[in-house]
Structures are given as C-alpha cells and as structure tokens.
Amino acid sequence: MNRRDGLRGRGGPWVVAGLAVWLLAAGVAGGVASGQAAPVPPDAGPPPAEALGAGASPELERVGWGERLWPGVRLERTLTVHDPRLDDDTPFHAYWFEADQGQVIILEMRSDQVDPYLWLFGPDAQFLARDDDSGPGPYDARIRLTAPASGRYQVLANTALSWQRGTYQLAFTLEEAWSGSEPGWRGEEGRQPTPSLPRPPARGAGEGPSARGLVAAPSANPRGAATPPTQGALQPGLRRSGRVGATELIHFWLVELPEGQDRFEVGLFNATGPLDLVATPEDPVEPGVGDFPFKAMTGRENERLEVVLEAGGPRRWLVGVVNWEPVSIGYEIEVAFDRPLPPYPEYKPPLPQVIAALNPLERAIRATVQISTPEGSASGTLLTPDGFILTNYHVVGECRYTGELFGCEGDLLRDERGEPVELVVGLAHEARGAATQYFVAEVVRTLPEYDLALLQITHDLNGLPVRGPIFPWIPVDLSPDGVRLGDEVMVLGYPAIAQTAGRIPLSLTRGILSGFTLEGGRRVLLQTDAAIEAGHSGGALIRLPEARLVGVPSDTRIDWETFEKQNYARPVSLIPEEWRQLLRAHGATFFGWNPEGSEASDPPADAPAGSPARP
C-alpha cells in the first residue's frame, strides 16, 4: 500500500499536491563527491544498436546503449533540456555494463537537485528492477540484486519529475557471488539480511516494460538459489509480532501446512503504518524472479492474504511483510487454516449529543477522511450522512494534465485484472491523531476536466454494507463568491510530510484566500497562502469561522529557481447540478444554491450543519 507517489510535473513548475509523498527538492540530504572514474580500455565501445533486445522502447533504440560503466566507477552527470525523454516526458541518461551470472549488481544514484530514479534491464532487454528512494538519502535511488544471467545490462538514470533538471552522481559496483558452504542472503552494513525489493515508481516516472509487480532479488549462492532467514513460524491461533525497519523492506515468516490442508489465510493486525503481504513457496528463490505468486497490495494498512494450493502443492511457504515507507512499522501477524481470521474493527458512530456539542471546526475535522489506494494516500470530505465523499480526480485516477487549468485525462486506477482499485476510507481519530480505516468506497461521478470526483462509501472492511446515516458531514457553500479575497480559510487533510511514525496524522493549516482564476466568467481555481502539501489533495478548504466547505485542495506551483510556491484549490461551485441534486437527496447541507424549481436558497438557520442522524 501507500507507495508515496511523486508529485507529477506539468511541463512547467507545476506539481500535484495529491497522493502522499516525501518530496522537498530544496535541501535534500545526500549527494556523494564526484570521484575519478575507473579507467576505460581503449577498445571499449558501445555495442551496436541492433544488439538491443526486442523489448527496447523507441527512446532506447534511438539512444542506443549509452555510456559504459565499469566496476568501481563513480561519475557525475547533468540532466538537461536536451536529453532524450521517456514517454512521460522525464529526461534520462542510458548506461550499460557487463556482469556474470551470480554477481551482485549495486547501483546508486544521488542528487540534491533532482529526484533520482533508476531502471535496470537484463541481457534480453527484460525489465529487472527500478527504484526511486531506497538510497542513503531520503530521495536517493539504489538497486542491489544478483545477476540472473551472464551478459550485457542496461541502466537508465532518470528523474521522477519531468520538469527537473540538474546534476547527479552515479556509482556502480559488482560483487562476487557468495562463496560460503551454505546458502545465504548477503546483508548490508551489518543489518538483518533481506532481499532487495525495488520500490514501485512515482506516478510521474513512467512505466517500463513489464514494470508492474514486486521483484525479489536474493543474493545467490554458487548453486544459484537461496532461502531467506525468517522471523519464526506462524501457527493457527497464535498471534506473533514484529517490526520492519525503515531499511529492511521485508520480513519473512514460515507457514507449514499439514497434509490434507489446501489453503491458508494470513492477516496483519494493529499495524502502525501501511504494509503489504506476499507469499511464495519456501523452495529456494531463483535470482531474478518476478512477482510473488500471491500478494496483497491494496490500500489497507492491515492486509489479508489467502493462499489456495493446487493438488500436490508445496507444504512450506514463506509469507513476507513488506514495508515501502521510510520509517519502521510495527505489526502483529496471524495465520488461519480452517477458521476465518478475526474481523476488522467495527465503526461506532458518535452519539448525536456528542456531535451536537461540537463547534463547526470540530465537525469539519470529523468529516475529513483519508483515502488510500495501492498508489498512495490522499484526502476527502464527507458531504452527506450516508457516506458521499468529494475528492480530486487524480486521487482515484491516472491524470495526464492538459491545458493551463490542469484538467485531467486518464482512466480510473485499475488493478492487474483491469478492475477499479479498492478505495479504503479512514475516519479521523482525534485520540490517535491519525485516521482509522473502516470502510471501502467506490467512484460514482467524475469531472476530470476540473479534477473532481465523487465517491460513495458502500461497505466496511469486513464486507458488511453501510446502513443508515451514520457519518458526520460538512456543510457546503456553493455561492459563486462564497469566499472572498482576504477571507480567513483553513486546509484540512493528511499530508505525507507530517508522517513521523508510520501513520500520517490529520493536519490543519491556516491562511487567507489570496486570489482566484476565472474561466468563462466563473472561478475555476482558488489561491491561498495556507500550506497545501502532497496528501492534502481531495481534502477540505473551509472558510472560517463557519467552517463551510468552499474548495478542494488540489495543486501547488513551485518555482525551483526562486523557491516561490503557490497553493491552489478547486472551488466547490464547480460541482455540477446533477451532483448537487444527488447529494441533496442524500442529506447534504448546501448554502448559496437555488435548485431548479426551488424558491429557497439556504437551509433554515437552525438546520443541522454536519451532524449525523440516527436511523
């Protein structure tokens, strides 16, 4: 889950405030000194272009193999506007090297000017690995895996953001295969040995050939296979606990099935952050293996994974707990054979008298939700007591930005089967500060040209349908000038920059409405000096002191030369008439709107402003 997507570029200094990401290009830690490159033999030239495999992209065919890397090289290069680009408009440099089967390949890309991104392709042009920020610095890229075959490998040194240009350092080393008498995994700097799992890409970094999925690359022994160490064995009815460090990436647990047992289910509980589950037979993992045969990589913090065996299938399995985050995450894990796992926690609606005692801002806090997908996390706002949520389109869909007003083009996010991804909804938990995941929502309306989407909560994480008006919601001001220049406003959401110990807490920032953009005489963008960060997307821009919703935080413009920044939100006045009628029928509270055929524009003064009703 939560893959910490990069802020997407727009052919200029524009970035999306959307899915959760750790990104502040200014002041990025890291960067290595540029040393002397290893000597290059005079006969070392690039291979002919026809040597490129059939899987090479047109960009690679035009560029060829690029510059050769020699073991021990540490070079410095600069990405410029003249460099070739991938299909997502990100610049890249191509390199190549030769390696023997079983050698350990280590690539490291550092920069304090760009967000480094590395791609690695094998001798047959097959995609092997990619990485965005596993390096020593918070944004440095690092790939470490065992060469699956002898031959020529290609590297792309890329940036996750299309508009970035700058200098980077690239280091390349080869280590000989482990030569001990027993199979093993090579660790780094004395850490618990783990396989090297490339992280998924930032959404702005493009998709490579066969680039979706988790790649396991153990350091192999001379026989070409290895078995990773485990945290212990899982047994039904016995819950175990663990903590995956910020640099470990994965914990393995052993599951041994008795004869006659053809399935098992494993689940996570009380995770302190987003984790994934994978499973594979214990048989030694061959170097260069692609996807694990079973995986649970959704928006849920506490994943569930069911493994069903074919007749005569293996009895011993490795279950992996995967942490993509830059912080350590604790968890509990349990396996079940014949009985179901314990259910997810059940949502308990607040009592009406509790809600009635809240002030408008406290109600707005309760109505701000966190939305999690396999691509990352963002925010949303409850508009009705039965679970309709307003958010940004780029939170739930692929978004290729068009025009100066940042309209979206692209399909809804889909899983490997082509189905829309699960949208997990977390509600604010004031005692914890972060959201607690309870529900699943689906997309019911979209307005990609203005980067808006409407969701509806349909069931909880246990699959039980939502019944009755049980949610707090926020009143909406649809007046064309519902917020004026100089009005005090507040942004509510779940920005990734606030993440410190696994979960992302709810964050409130205050400012004023500093400007707006018109199209055809109506407002299409609101400007504010209230901070909007990655993960705020889809949240609430409210006018104070009434705490009415006036906008949806969506965009940030950054000039990386002057470090100037401007924050933008979509005005709720863009909500189409049909959406308004639908929301009104489900209990939404609107101000400043005359429905067709209606004489009244505002609800009565004593109308409920975001209080859930009891069925």
> In b/e form, how buried is each residue of 143-157, taking b as 16+ CB within 10 angstroms?
bbbbbbeeebbbbbb
Q: Which residues pair with 243 in a beta bridge?
A: 330
Give the mean pLDDT of 517-529.
89
Q: Are residues 150 and 260 in the same domain?
A: no
Q: Are residues 253 and 161 in the same domain?
A: no
DSSP letter at 429 equals -
Q: What is the pLDDT of residue 333?
A: 98
Q: Is the peptide bond before 222 cis (omega within 30 degrees of 0)?
A: no
Residue 101 placed within a domain: yes
> Which of these ranges, 8-12, 400-404, 534-538, has the smallest mean pLDDT?
8-12
Q: What is the pLDDT of residue 432?
A: 67
Q: What is the pLDDT of residue 204?
A: 27
Of the candidates 326, 322, 193, 190, the residue with the CA atom closest to the CA atom of residue 247? 326
Query: Which of 28-37, 405-414, 435-444, 519-528 holds the top average pLDDT?
Result: 435-444
In angstroms, rounded to a whole number, what is the distance separating the alpha carbons of residues 587 and 234?
Answer: 48
Which of residues 302 and 282 earns the better pLDDT score?
A: 302
Residues 538, 380: contact at Cβ < 8 Å?
yes
Q: Are residues 37 and 170 in the same domain?
A: yes
In angstroms, rounded to a whole number, what is the distance separating the alpha carbons of residues 48 and 435?
Answer: 55
Residue in the block written with tokens 């209230």: 530
Would you put residue 49 in left (φ > 0), alpha (ψ -120 to 50) or beta? Answer: alpha
Residue 321 placed within a domain: yes
Residue after which a domain boundary falls, among 283, 316, 336: 336
Of the candidates 166, 38, 60, the residue with the CA atom closest to the CA atom of residue 119? 60
Which residues constitute the domain of residue 270? 233-336
In angstroms, rounded to a whole number, what is the distance separating the alpha carbons of residues 262 and 502?
Answer: 35
Q: Is it the case that residue 2 has pLDDT exceeding 70?
A: no
Residue 360 placed within a domain: no
Q: How far is CA 4 from its chain centroid?
A: 4
> In b/e form, how buried is each residue of 549-571, taking b as 16+ CB within 10 angstroms?
bbbbbbbbbbebeeeeebbbbbb
Residue 342 placed within a domain: no
Q: Are residues 252 and 152 in the same domain?
A: no
Q: How far is CA 518 from its chain centroid?
A: 32
Q: Are residues 75 and 141 in the same domain?
A: yes
| pLDDT averaged over every residue in the chain | 77
Residue in the block written with tokens 């994965």: 250
Q: CB within 8 A of 363, min separation 6: which ones?
A: 355, 472, 474, 547, 609, 610, 611
* Residue range 264-285, pLDDT digits in tens: 999 999 999 889 999 999 875 5
* Residue range 353-388, pLDDT digits in tens: 887 788 999 999 999 999 999 988 999 999 999 999
pLDDT-derived band at 138 (thresholds 50, 70, 90) equals low
Supply the pTM of this predicted model: 0.66
Q: Is it the case that residue 512 has pLDDT exceeding 80?
A: yes
Q: Is it the case that residue 209 has pLDDT exceeding 90?
A: no
114: domain CATH number is 2.60.120.380
Residues 167, 76: contact at Cβ < 8 Å?
yes
Q: Are residues 245 and 136 in the same domain?
A: no
In angstroms, rounded to a whole number, what is the distance separating the alpha carbons of residues 377 and 179?
Answer: 43
Which of residues 551 and 86 earns the better pLDDT score?
A: 551
Residue in the block written with tokens 């080869």: 174
Residue after which a domain boundary falls, among 306, 336, 366: 336
* Residue range 449-507, pLDDT digits in tens: 999 999 999 999 999 999 888 999 999 999 877 889 999 999 999 998 887 766 788 99
Q: Is it the case that residue 104 has pLDDT exceeding 80?
A: yes
Residue 460 placed within a domain: no
Q: What is the pLDDT of residue 137?
A: 61
Q: Is it the case that residue 114 has pLDDT exceeding 50?
A: yes
H-assigned helices in 231-371: 352-356, 360-367
* Residue range 26-63, pLDDT digits in tens: 222 222 222 223 333 333 344 443 334 334 444 455 55
* Residue range 223-269, pLDDT digits in tens: 334 567 889 999 999 999 999 988 778 899 999 999 889 999 999 99
- 230 burial (CB, 10 Å; 0-12 / 13-18 / 19+) is middle
Which of residues 197 and 529 earns the better pLDDT score?
A: 529
Q: Are residues 64 and 153 in the same domain?
A: yes
Q: What angle do CA 49, 71, 123 make, to 5 degrees?
A: 35
Q: What is the pLDDT of residue 522?
A: 85
3-class DSSP assignment, residue 552: strand
Give the mean pLDDT of 331-350.
94
pLDDT-derived band at 80 (thresholds 50, 70, 90) equals confident
Q: Are residues 240 and 165 in the same domain?
A: no
The sheet with strand 151-159 has its strands ordered as 67-68, 92-99, 151-159, 116-121, 127-131
Give the mean pLDDT of 114-142.
81
pLDDT-derived band at 14 (thresholds 50, 70, 90) equals very low
Number of domains in the chain: 2
pLDDT-derived band at 326 (thresholds 50, 70, 90) equals confident
Q: What is the pLDDT of residue 179?
A: 40
One-letter-per-residue 3-state SS of 293-313: CEEECCCCCCCEEEEECCCCC
Q: Are residues 158 and 36 in the same domain?
A: yes
What is the Cα gyration radius of the chain?
26
Q: Is it the case that residue 99 has pLDDT exceeding 90?
A: yes
Q: Is it the case that residue 288 has pLDDT exceeding 50?
A: no
Q: Are residues 173 and 260 in the same domain?
A: no
Q: Is it the case that residue 83 has pLDDT exceeding 80?
A: yes
Residue after which a domain boundary falls, among 291, 306, 336: 336
Residue 282 placed within a domain: yes
Q: What is the pLDDT of residue 342?
A: 95
Q: CB within 8 A of 316, min separation 6: which ones?
A: 254, 255, 256, 257, 281, 282
Q: Which residues pair with 109 in a beta bridge?
A: 141, 170
Residue 60 placed within a domain: yes
Residue 579 placed within a domain: no
Give the mean pLDDT of 516-533.
89
* Residue range 182-194, pLDDT digits in tens: 333 333 332 222 2
% residues pLDDT > 90 (the chain):
47
Q: For residue 508, what are its two tokens?
A: 């409130």
% residues pLDDT > 70 (the chain):
74
How many CB atoms within 10 Å of residue 65? 22
